[in-house]
Amino acid sequence: MFIINSYTLAVFFCIITMLCWGSWANTSKVSTDKWPFPLFYWDYSLGLILMTLIYGLTMGSAGENGRSFIADLQQADSASITSAFIGGIVFNLSNLLIVAAIAVAGISVAFPVGVGLALVIGVIVNYIKNPAGDPILLFGGVTLVVIAIVVNAMASSKVSKSKGSTPAKGIVLSVLAGIIMGFFYRFVADGMTLNFISPDPGKMTPYSAVLIFSLGVFISNFLWNTFFMYKPIEGSKSTYKEYFTNGTTRQHIFGLLGGMIWMTGFLFNLIASDKAGPAISYGLGQGATMIGAAWGVFVFKEFKGAPASINKYLVTMFVTFIAGLGMIIIARL
């Protein structure tokens, strides 16, 4: 299996995670104009599984170190499989709430608030379990991220007031999603070995762990996503029949693509955790908050028409995010 051999390469993989996690939601925003997000999400979850199989049978089966993808799945014990599967269930609920928050309040609100909060919780939870890196630098970087989240919320509030609306519903959804999302990574990491070159018996490598995780996402869809289909946060309800009769090829492709993009980021993040440590790896990956906010601000123009004073909030948000991520990176040097 492909294994990272340096911290520098691990950071690069985390940057790829950041780009993937911060960009996948664009497929939802593009495809759900006339396509309800719960229907989009079925394709998204299938995209997760498809991408794990592609990576598992290629990168996960190449090289001399570690265990190959199929062999690793065959030797995994029930505790490891259960942990990764629960991670998928937990992530799925939080992600559905994030997608709902995007529909209500936009990417520039949902990502900084929801994913930013998940970053804070996730780093703390993972550091307690595996304390890798300088805690002062690591948590100093996390503090700057928290400041950026607060600044973004202030900017969003001012924009809403200028437009005569309030993003309260979207912010509540984002906060709830962030709290839940902060714990999913720990479940997956608990099912994985910490030694990728000579994996522990019964534990899984990243390539097999993400497959079990994605199955947890897909199967829990029949609970979580069915609820959102018939009790939608925004818009009218949707049905299973509509998925097969109303969806276009383009809409289904965008859904699959969204899942494939997100899973690329997740797998690369888990691979990087060998050299970076779970807390730093997860923290860097959740820099996706800044990427998501950038899409909302610069591409989808979600702050268009806002008062000029908003610009100072946006500049402060991005500067503190970048500074925070920089501190997280050097925490392991």
Give the integer Cα–Cα distance in Å for 261 and 21.
7
Q: Which residues of 133-155 are buried (b: 16+ CB within 10 A; e: fewer)?
A: beeebbbbbbebbbbbbbbbbeb
- CA 230 remoteness from chain centre: 25
156: alpha, beta or left? (left if phi > 0; alpha if psi -120 to 50) = alpha
Give the integer Cα–Cα distance in Å for 183 and 190.
11
- In the numeric block, the tokens 């290629």 are attached to 58
Residue 236 lies in a domain: yes
> 3-class SS at 204?
strand
Residue 312 lies in a domain: yes
pLDDT at 211: 98
Q: What is the pLDDT of residues 164-219, one digit of tens each?
A: 555 678 788 888 999 999 999 999 999 999 889 999 999 999 999 999 999 999 99
Q: What is the pLDDT of residues 263-319, one digit of tens each?
A: 999 999 999 998 998 889 988 887 777 787 777 777 777 677 777 778 888 889 889
Task: Tell me the whole-structure pTM to 2 decimals.
Answer: 0.87
Residue 184 lies in a domain: yes
Pick the more confident residue, 325 or 58: 58
Count of structural domains, the chain: 1
Residue 2 lies in a domain: no
Residue 36 lies in a domain: yes
Q: What Rg do the C-alpha atoms of the chain give, in angstroms?
A: 19
- Which structural domain range is residue 117 located in? 7-330
Handedness of CA 188, 193, 199, 203 (dihedral sign): negative
For residue 248, how many other CB atoms are within 10 A of its CB?
11
Handedness of CA 193, 198, 202, 207 (dihedral sign): positive
Residue 1 lies in a domain: no
Mean confidence (pLDDT) of the chain: 87
Report the amino acid identity of residue 163: K
- Do 224 and 92 meet the contact criterion of CB atoms below 8 Å apart? yes
| H and E: helices and strands count for the chain | 16, 0
